Structure 1
């Protein structure tokens, strides 16, 4: 069985068009070009892309977090619908958390639609716990958002957890004929 390479890297302004295409495919146009440009320009923002040399667009997924004091606030996590349920969301989430750890963040947080059970399940697999609810958070339909937290990113035992997650993700990707290249 042939394995297809995947690579996660920091996004740059050269990726703006691909970002907009992916945003359109995943969210129907959630963020604008100016919004993505702001993220790319901000020293407090990490915008990661998941790439494959075999895909037409090459950008299969993206994830972003803001560094706010000692907290990584995950603002976006998306995988092109054509590549759902192959382990790529987990690979991106892992990479966001690992990057946050490397940047000495103490915890990670995010908001997720209360109805997005697939995303909630993914976040829970990575240890996120529900910390609260933002009523009518999403303007498109007034849906509530759950606030999820992942503490203790700098605890020594968390490095062991990261290593376990990396193995879990590699195994899952292998089952879908993907191979995540290490940085």
Structure 2
């Protein structure tokens, strides 16, 4: 069986048009070009792309967080709809949490639509717990958001958690003939 290489790496200015395509496919245009440019320029932002030479668009997904004091505020975890249910979202979330850990951040937080049960399930697998609810958070339809968080990322046992996640993710990806490569 031949594995298809997946690379997760920081976005560059050359990747912005692909980021807009993924954004449009996943969110209907959440951020515009200027917003992505600001994210690239900010030293407090991690903006990662999930790439494969297998796809004509090359970028299959992306993830982003803002480093705020000792917290990673995850703003985007997006996988192009053509590649859902193959473990790519887990690979992106893992990569974001690994980057947050490497930055010395203590915890991570995010908002997610209450109706997005697939994403909520993914976040729970990574130890996220519900911290609250933001009523009418989403402007497009007034839907509520759950506020999720996870902590203790700088505790010694978190390195073992990262290693376990890495193994689990690589096993899941291989079932879909993907192989994760970090750059």
Q: With structure 1 as the length reference, what TM-score do the two structures score? A: 0.99
Q: Which residue of 2 aligns with 1:9?
A: 9
Match of 1:54 in 2: 54
- Return the offset for 1:2: 1.0
* TM-score after normalising by structure 2: 0.99
Which residue pairs with 1:111 in the alignment? Answer: 111
1:30-71 deviation line (CA, Å, top 9, x unaligned): 110011111111111100000001110100000000000000
- Partner in structure 2 of residue 24 of structure 1: 24
1:151 and 1:24 map into 2 onto residues whose CA distance is 31
Distance 1:160 1:44 in 2: 26
Distance, in Å, in 1 between the alignment partners of 2:62 and 2:108 is 17
CA distance, structure 2, for counterparts of residue 132 and residue 32 of structure 1? 28
Say whether residues 1:132 and 2:132 are aligned partners.
yes
Tell me the residue number matched to 1:154.
154
> How many residue pairs end up in the alignment?
183
Aligned to 2:39: 39
Q: Which runs of 5+ in 1 are unaligned?
A: none
Runs of 4+ in 1 over 6 A off after TM superposition: none
Q: Take 2:182 and 2:52, find their aligned partners in 1: how far apart are those partners?
A: 13
Distance (Å, rounded) in 1 between the aligned partners of 2:101 and 2:181: 19
Q: RMSD of the alignment, in Å?
A: 0.6
Which sections of structure 2, spanning at least 5 residues, go unmatched?
Answer: none
User: Is the 2:106–2:153 Cα contact (8 Å) retained in structure 1?
Assistant: yes
In structure 2, what is the Cα distance between the partners aligned to 1:39 and 1:80?
20
Deviation at 1:154, TM superposition (A): 0.1
Write the deviation string for residues 111-148 of structure 1: whole angstroms up to 9, x where unpaired: 00011000000000000000000010001111100000
Alpha-carbon separation, structure 1, partners of 2:181 and 2:20:
25
